[in-house]
């Protein structure tokens, strides 16, 4: 088989697979938004033990039909600006209800900025699926960042496949 054709097939198929996976994530997000149409107040009970850029996320407990469930507050992306000269307190540079979080923090040691905004015991809205209350989201829905990552990667693979078909030797 010719090198450029084999190269094209491999990159094109990988691109299509990545495109399909991104569409699956998009479909999952849209069904979650449609199905989680009931709201209830939940209380922050603790924070995640792992963190992302120095941010631990509040875990919210909510009750539906006398059954207790938990869900954590999610963000799509966390943008962190670090400086050794910054004080220990971490500042949030946007609204905490946005889907992305922008913070300024000390590069060596910093506080969790969400603990000040959502202390233990504070109430947050939880939207859940009435048919399956375990499926839920806190405060607002955040689309999966994997959709954009996979879609961009798929497009790059497909473009590289066509470039390879045009420029690689055909022997």
Interval 106-149: pLDDT, tens = 777 767 888 889 999 999 999 999 999 999 999 999 988 889 99
Percentage of the chain lying above the pLDDT 70 cut? 96
Q: Which residue has the higher pLDDT, 60 or 88?
A: 60
**Angle in degrees, CA 145, 28, 37, rounded to 5:** 105
User: Which residue stretches of the chain are H helix?
Assistant: 3-35, 113-117, 146-167
Residues 124 and 69 occupy one common structural domain: yes
Residues 97 and 171 both lie in one domain:
no
Residues 29 and 44 in one domain: no
The answer to whether residues 102 and 49 belong to one domain is: yes
Residue 114 CA to residue 91 CA, distance in Å, equals 10
Same domain? 27 vs 101: no
Range of the structural domain that residue 94 is part of: 38-140
Kindly give, in sequence order, each residue whose CB lies less than 8 Å from that of residue 5, ignoring residues fewer than 6 positions away: 165, 170
As a whole number, the mean pLDDT across the chain is: 89
As a whole number of angstroms, the distance between CA 45 and CA 26 comes to 30
* pLDDT tops 90 at residue 76: no
Count of domains forming the chain: 2
Residues 85 and 24 in one domain: no
- Placement of tokens 């989680």 in the chain: 36
What is the mean predicted confidence (pLDDT) over 86-102? Answer: 81
Same domain, 43 and 26: no
| Structure confidence at residue 93 as a pLDDT band (50, 70, 90) | confident
Give yes or no: residues 3 and 66 share one domain. Answer: no
Say what the pLDDT of residue 86 is. Answer: 65
Task: Count CB-CB contacts under 10 A for residue 23.
Answer: 14
Determine the Cα–Cα distance for residues 126 and 128; give it in Å rounded to an integer: 6
Same domain, 116 and 157: no
Q: How are beta strands 101-106 and 78-83 bridged, if at all?
A: parallel
Same domain membership, residue 151 and residue 108: no
> Are 128 and 154 part of one and the same domain?
no
More confident residue, 25 or 105: 25
CA 77 to CA 118: how far, in whole Å?
Answer: 19
Domain check: are 79 and 132 in the same one? yes
pTM reported for the whole predicted model = 0.79
The Cβ of residue 14 has, within 10 Å, a number of other Cβ atoms equal to 16
Helix (H, G, I), strand (E, B) or coil at 6: helix
């Amino acid at each position: 088989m010719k090198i450029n054709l084999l190269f094209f097939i491999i990159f094109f198929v990988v691109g299509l697979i990545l495109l399909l996976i991104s569409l699956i994530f998009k479909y999952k997000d849209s069904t979650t938004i449609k199905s989680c149409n009931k709201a209830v107040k939940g209380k922050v009970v603790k924070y995640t033990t792992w963190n992302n850029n120095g941010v631990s996320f509040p875990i919210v407990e909510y009750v539906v039909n006398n059954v207790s469930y938990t869900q954590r507050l999610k963000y799509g992306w966390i943008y962190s600006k670090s400086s050794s000269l910054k004080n220990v307190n971490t500042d949030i540079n946007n609204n905490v209800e946005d889907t992305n979080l922008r913070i300024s923090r000390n590069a060596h040691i910093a506080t969790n900025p969400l603990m000040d905004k959502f202390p233990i015991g504070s109430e947050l809205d939880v939207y859940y699926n009435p048919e399956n209350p375990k499926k839920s989201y806190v405060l607002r829905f955040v689309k999966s960042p994997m959709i954009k990552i996979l879609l961009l990667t798929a497009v790059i693979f497909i473009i590289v496949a066509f470039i390879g078909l045009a420029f690689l030797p055909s022997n």
